[in-house]
Amino acid sequence: MQIIDLGNISRPVLLFGGVYGNVQALKAVIALANAQDMQPVCTGDIAAYCADGEACAALMRAEKIATIAGNCERNLAAGVEDCGCGFESGSTCERLSATWFAHAQATISPPNRAWMQGLPDRITFRHAGRRYGVLHGGADDIARFVWPGAAEISAQLAMAESRLGPLDGVIAGHCGLSFRQGRWVNAGAIGMPPNDGRAATRYAVLHNGAVHFEKLDYDPAPARKAMAKAGLTQGYDTCLQSGFWPSEEVLPTRLKRLREGVFVQHQ
């Protein structure tokens, strides 16, 4: 396991993940970080559902953004045929992933694959006298979906500390929802809305030891147009503006939309 320590970060930390090949969202986050003098740290999955994974990888490299590898980066670097997202076999999510991952496989360049291969598995850093660890899915499985309210979070924290040492907080990604449960923080995804009926995506800010979640408002129309041009029109394209995932199979029942139109808020 490769672990990189960023040392002490004195300025606010902009935490984000799930870029998902949405270069418009990534540019918006970078602009925010620069305008507000924040240190960006990414939880992985840079290339996924949207069309511009190659541009996102190039931009991450150009901006020297600290990031770990998500399952998508690991599998793209290894040249395997599936995304390794942990979707249930035979599910709609698994079926849809075949198309968008094939697009990523066809468009990510050898230099960016090599960069992905070299990304660390974990990041640690200190901020405001506290120590944090960054991972992708779960402490024991890069593709584990750790959902808000999950009883397993205490065990996942213990496993993270067994590998990284004492931590005041764990920053995770993968599940696409932003939430905080004790010392476990999921920064959310900037590349796709959190299934709440709005186009805005999510990121988190760590400042003076406190974490707060923010909405990323950007124009998703160019990203949707790029997806249409690439033939990625399975429902994730419309999700960029509707805010609704094309399938909720991956979600626990308690987090799915209710028939009456009531939505769980993940902030």
Query: What is the average pLDDT score of the chain?
Result: 93
Q: Looking at residues 188-216, what average pLDDT do you find?
A: 96
Report the pLDDT value the prediction gives residue 96, as an integer from 0 to 100.
81
pLDDT at residue 148 greater than cutoff 80: yes
User: Domain for residue 261, yes or no?
Assistant: no
User: Domain for residue 170, yes or no?
Assistant: yes
pLDDT tens digit sequence for 55-102? 999 999 999 999 999 999 999 999 888 888 888 888 888 888 888 999
Sequence-distant (6+) residues with CB within 8 A of 29 are: 14, 16, 40, 190, 203, 216
C-alpha torsion sign, points 80, 84, 89, 95: negative
Residue whose token pair is 């400042």: 207
* Distance (Å) of CA 200 to CA 28, 53, 138, 188, 215: 12, 20, 25, 12, 6
- Report d(CA 197, CA 214) in Å as an integer: 16
Report the pLDDT value the prediction gives residue 97, as an integer from 0 to 100.
85
Report the pLDDT value the prediction gives residue 262, as an integer from 0 to 100.
41
- Partners of 66 in the beta sheet? 41
DSSP string for residues in 20-85: TT-HHHHHHHHHHHHHTT-EEEE-S--SSSSS-HHHHHHHHHHHT-EE---HHHHHHHHT-SS---
pLDDT at residue 261 greater than cutoff 60: no
Ranking 68-82, 83-97, 105-119, 176-190 by mean pLDDT, the lowest is 83-97
Question: How do strand 122-127 and strand 66-67 relate by DSSP bridges?
Answer: unpaired
Please give the share of the chain, as a percent, with pLDDT higher than 90.
Answer: 83
Q: How many residues does the chain have?
A: 267
User: Domain for residue 260, yes or no?
Assistant: no
DSSP string for residues in 102-143: HHHHHHS-HHHHHHHHT--SEEEEEETTEEEEE-SS-SS-TT
User: Domain for residue 262, yes or no?
Assistant: no
Domain count for the chain: 1
Confidence category of residue 112, pLDDT binned at 50, 70, 90:
very high
User: Domain for residue 263, yes or no?
Assistant: no
Report the pLDDT value the prediction gives residue 64, as an integer from 0 to 100.
97
User: Domain for residue 267, yes or no?
Assistant: no
Query: Which CATH number is 80's domain given?
Result: 3.60.21.10
Ranking 95-99, 103-107, 188-192 by mean pLDDT, the lowest is 95-99
Sequence-distant (6+) residues with CB within 8 A of 177 are: 147, 148, 186, 188, 189, 194, 195, 202, 255, 266
User: Domain for residue 94, yes or no?
Assistant: yes
Domain holding 202, by residue range, is 3-255
- Report d(CA 72, CA 47) in Å as an integer: 7
pLDDT tens digit sequence for 8-37? 999 999 999 999 999 999 999 999 999 999
User: Domain for residue 265, yes or no?
Assistant: no
pLDDT tens digit sequence for 212-260? 999 999 999 999 999 999 999 999 999 999 999 998 888 988 888 754 4
Q: Looking at residues 180-206, what average pLDDT do you find?
A: 96
Q: Would you say 13 and 38 are in contact if contact means Cβ atoms under 8 Å apart?
A: yes
C-alpha torsion sign, points 158, 169, 43, 77: negative
Report the pLDDT value the prediction gives residue 266, as an integer from 0 to 100.
44
Q: Looking at residues 101-115, what average pLDDT do you find?
A: 95
Please give the share of the chain, as a percent, with pLDDT higher than 70.
Answer: 96
Report the pLDDT value the prediction gives residue 258, as an integer from 0 to 100.
52
